[in-house]
Amino acid sequence: MPTFQFSSSKALIATALPWHAAWAGGRLIFACLTLLEPLVRFTLTTLATLGIFVTIVFGFLLGAKNFPTWFMLGMALGCLLLLGAYYAVMRGIARIGNVGTFR
């Protein structure tokens, strides 16, 4: 991390304030995502599990006509991919927040 020499405290404040505001905003977003994580995880895993179960029962075992087998299976797997993307966003924001420290 480069070090800068500032001639006045106003220059230091003018350059450090946007970075500190971005850091605080990232921490706020991460806190909100962390609080919502149990609800998001429960919802998406429930939808994925039920979607796979319904697809197996109606699409493959019973062989129901006009049942969107592959669409339902795709939606269930899409829920799992969306959960993975949610965790990836949380991990990315957490890494950004830990890059530098302000003293």
Q: What is the pTM of this model?
A: 0.74
Token representation of residue 55: 């697809």
CA pair distance 44, 26, nearest whole angstrom: 24
67: DSSP letter: -
pLDDT on residue 102: 43
Token representation of residue 60: 């493959």
**Domain boundaries defined on the chain:** 51-97
pLDDT on residue 36: 96
Across the chain, which has 103 residues, the per-10-residue mean pLDDT values are 60 74 84 94 97 93 89 96 95 73 43
pLDDT on residue 3: 60
pLDDT on residue 101: 47
